[in-house]
Structure 1
Amino acid sequence: MTESLKSAAQVVKDTISYGKPAPASDQYLRWNAPGVEEIKADEESKQHEIANVMNQMQQKNFEKHRRAFTATHVKPQGVVKGTLTVKPDLPKHLQQGMFAVPGKKFDVIARYANEPYLLQSDQERGPRGLSMKVFGVSGKKLDDSINEHGTQDWFFNNAPMIELTDLDTTLEIMKLRLENFDSPNMLGTKLTLRTDAMKQHAPYQLPNTNLISHSFYTQSAFRYGEYYGHLGLFPLLDEQATEEAKRTVKSSDPETVLSDWLQEYFRTHSARYAFRIQLGTSTVHHPTEDASVVWDQATAPYQDIAIVEFPPQDSFSHQRRLFWDMKMKLSPWSGMLEHQPLGSINRLRKYVYARSAKKRDEINVGSSQNVLDIGDVPD
């Protein structure tokens, strides 16, 4: 198996330790059990410092491109509309939060993107992301409101773990990225000198292939009603598993090849994903505070909760892309109380996502918002 053809899971398995082995169990741990979250006294000051560094990187991107982007996931590859349908025969223990009603259907919109903070050519290997907003979600929200026409935001990457690990590591890495903003090669050299070098480089060893074939993971933990877990999206259609769908980016391809391939695929094909969850049973084996730990599927098997489907469409509509970039505001903390983000990385996101959106709006003289109706998004 060549490096370029390895799956994301295999790349991570080759470089990162999984959580400690444990027997599979259906004795799921409550989301607020002792030890699930451990908030440190200095979190707020570190969140502020990290946000300042990320805002400086946004400023540097503006100086290069004369336009502000979000702090990460800078380069869009496609924006698609579709549906999320809760599994009709969903087991009782999985009927939680927005998945409480088996068979219920929601409208969704999703954005495929390169994860890095730089506007890079698609020839550059690196993690890829998918963010998704679900419309028409009712129930108590994280901001204590009850909105019958609310939304639930989900964020996924094609690596099952996040190398940033925790707040201390995140601050160190963000400072390195800022110091070496104009020299990615120097950044790579400095990352190689770290004691966690294998972890830091792992996401950049992922196969640089057609995004339509990728699985995507939340990387971090979320409350799931009474319980907590990691979630993921997994391709289901044969069309997403063909050699064409798995082709690797070549140096001779255009810089926009990933968005080109998505647009080509969605012109005539649907995409369908299984939405699945791993439920945690132990704070040792299934931690939330160390987001670099991959939860072993033998100890926390994925369970189907819904199907996400995107029909054929123009995945790179300029009207829709621009609407997303200028109007759409997403956050892991925009959603239901029963899906509260967990762990220090997610608590950080609550702060930095808001700061990132504010910085983008200030520079672009824009007004991003939590769009509540998919009908407001251009076709």
Structure 2
Amino acid sequence: MSLTDTYNTVKRALSSSPPNDQYLRWDAPGVESVQHDEEQKARAIGETMTKMQQHNFDQHRHAFRATHVKTQGIVKGKLIVQRDLPTHLRQGLFREPGKVYDIAVRYANEPVFLQPDQEPGPRGLSMRIFDVNGPHLSGSDPSSNTQDFFFNNAPSIELTDIDTCLEIMQLREKYFDSPMKLAAATKLRTDAVKQSAPSMLPNTNMVNHGFYSQSAFRFGEWYGHLGLFPVLDEMKSRDEKVKSGDSREVLREWLAEYFAQHGAKYEFKIQLGTSPEHHPTEDGSVVWDEATAPYQTIATIELPPQDPLVPERRVFWEDHMRLTPWDGLADHQPLGSINRLRKIVYAMSRQKREKENATQTRPVTSIEELP
């Protein structure tokens, strides 16, 4: 037994969490707790974020998404469900071992403005999975046969819940043009350490990052957190750190250089929750302990060598792609207030982009539609 296994065994023995194979149903009491005024707060968040979209439009004469504004690369590949998948993990789009799906992946900087790559901060990865069959969520686009997942390179989200998200977004909009004033205002908060965490993330080549859903999702009978982890023994490791003298577009340049010669491979994993107290959905800032909720591999992501920033593909994704986790399978329903607010906020963000850019987004249902 390795030192890590021994450590986790001790932690499990000391924890009051249920055994890590006694998975809790996604709709069990306490897994979600919906506030009566969430829709009102979500619309207030959406209005605040459309103001930030307007700030970007005023500077660039183009309307971007409300977050994850700066595209670093877009690639196509495959998702391959594990062939030896245990029965309890055969859920939703993973119910058929060995099944292969087409996918499209976008790498991006998470912040709400077009920051230079020298500035550290969260990096994101969004994924669309095509030809997904099964009952879809109520209210989903009737033509949808896709599943969208969203990841960041931190296992938790500092926005925490709908109330904190509203407060932070209002601060970010108020001080959109003054990072120093925003930092000063943030330091006055009782959760200042949590809010400063994104700036401490490693500013390195994105192909080396692990990516996390941060928020919880239904997983068939159960619920859990999702993660993508690079298979570094099959990938050419790139541990470059961004330096002050590098290009402001260095992350994009590194991705282009990497994918010109190499493919990328990730293990797609899930942590299954056993307890609302230890594995909450309503507090996105809680990192689920891997000792009490170990990651289990459910699929592999394979992205072959290619040009990650074909101009036609970038423009198509930024101006015409419509992504939301609420147009997916019922078996992967988003959980927690951070996810529930997305249903409203994403729609408002999309409407703002369509209005200012005089373009229509649409549900892209085939990998062939993407240039």
Common topology (TM > 0.5):
yes
TM range (shorter): over 0.9
Residue from 55, 63, 78 that aligns with 2:58? 63
1:266 alignment counterpart: 259
Question: Deviation string for 1:177-198 (max 9, x for gaps)?
Answer: 0110001121111111111001
Query: Which residue type is aligned with residue 153 of structure 2?
Result: N
Paired amino acid for 1:334:
D
- Identity fraction in percent: 59
Q: State the Cα distance separating 1:21 from its structure 2 match.
A: 6.4
Partners of 1:81 and 1:272 in 2: how far apart?
A: 12
> Post-superposition shift, 1:237?
3.3
Aligned length: 357
2:73 to 71, 78, 97: 78
Distance 1:296 1:94 in 2: 19
Question: Is the Cα–Cα contact under 8 Å of residues 90 and 97 in structure 2 kept in the other structure?
Answer: yes
Match for residue 92 of structure 1?
87
Partner of 1:9: none
SS in 2 for 1:137: coil
Which amino acid letter does the alignment assign opposite residue 183 of structure 1? S
AA partner of residue 80 (structure 1): V
Instruction: Report the secondary structure of 1:333's partner residue.
Output: helix
1:320 matched to which residue of 2?
313
Aligned to 2:199: 204
Secondary structure (helix, strand or coil) at the match of 1:238 reads coil
* Contact kept in structure 1, 2:34 and 2:337, CA below 8 Å: yes
Residue 143 of structure 1: CA displacement?
2.9
Within-5 A mapping of 1:218-367: 218-238=213-233, 240=235, 242=237, 245-367=238-360
CA distance in 1, matches of 2:159, 2:182: 15
- The aligned runs of 1:158-197 (5 Å cut-off) are 158-197=153-192
Tell me, in whole angstroms, the C-alpha distance in 2 between the residues paired with 1:179 and 1:290. 25
Q: Could you state the TM-score of these two structures normalised by the residue count of structure 2?
A: 0.94
Deviation at 1:24, TM superposition (A): 4.2
Q: Tell me the equivalent position of 1:13.
A: none
- Residue 33 (str. 1) matches residue 33 (str. 2): no
**2:150 is paired with a residue of what secondary structure?**
strand
Across the aligned residues of Structure 1 and Structure 2, the Cα RMSD in angstroms comes to 1.4
Code of the residue aligned with 1:125 in structure 2: it is: P
Q: How does 1:134-173 map to 2 (within 5 A)?
A: 134-143=129-138, 150-173=145-168
* Matches of 1:45 and 1:352, distance apart in 2: 11
Determine the structure 2 residue equivalent to 1:371.
364
In 1, the alpha carbon distance for the partners of 2:150 and 2:118 equals: 23
> Aligned equivalents of 1:256 and 1:113: distance in 2?
12
Structure 1 residue ranges without an equivalent (≥5): 1-19
Measure, in 2, the Cα distance between the counterparts of 1:338 and 1:31.
Answer: 10
Q: Deviation digits for residues 55-99 of structure 1, max 9, x if unmatched?
A: 111011100110000000000000000000000010000000000
The aligned amino acid for 2:231 is L
- The letter of the residue matching 1:357 is R
Task: Give the match for residue 9 of structure 2.
Answer: none
Matched residues in 2 for 1:120 and 1:86: separation? 36
Structure 1 CA distance, aligned partners of 2:216 and 2:80? 22
Give the Cα–Cα distance (whole angstroms) in 2 for the partners of residues 21 and 265 of structure 1. Answer: 45
Stretches of structure 2 that go unaligned for 5 or more consecutive residues are: 1-14
Contact residue 213 and residue 241 of structure 1 kept, 8 A: no
The equivalent residue for 1:6 is none
In 2, the alpha carbon distance for the partners of 1:145 and 1:273 equals 28
CA distance in 2, matches of 1:71, 1:148: 25
Check 1:123–1:21 CA distance in 2 against 1; reply closer, same or farther (3 A cut).
farther
Q: Partners in 2 of 1:146 and 1:216 — Cα distance?
A: 27
Give the superposition deviation at 1:44.
1.1
Q: Distance in 2 between matches of 1:145 and 1:214?
A: 31
Aligned counterparts of 1:115 and 1:166: Cα–Cα separation in 2: 18
What are the superposed Cα offsets for residues 196-220 of structure 1, whole Å, 9 maximum, x if unpaired? 0010011110000000000000000
Cα distance change, pair 349–148 in 1 and its aligned pair in 2 (3 A): closer
Determine whether 1:116 maps to 2:106.
Answer: no
Structure 1 residue corresponding to 2:124, chosen from 122, 129, 135? 129
1:14 corresponds to: none
- How far off is 1:48 after superposition? 1.1
Task: Call closer, same or farther: CA 1:253–1:24 in 2, change over 3 Å.
Answer: farther
1:16 aligned partner:
none
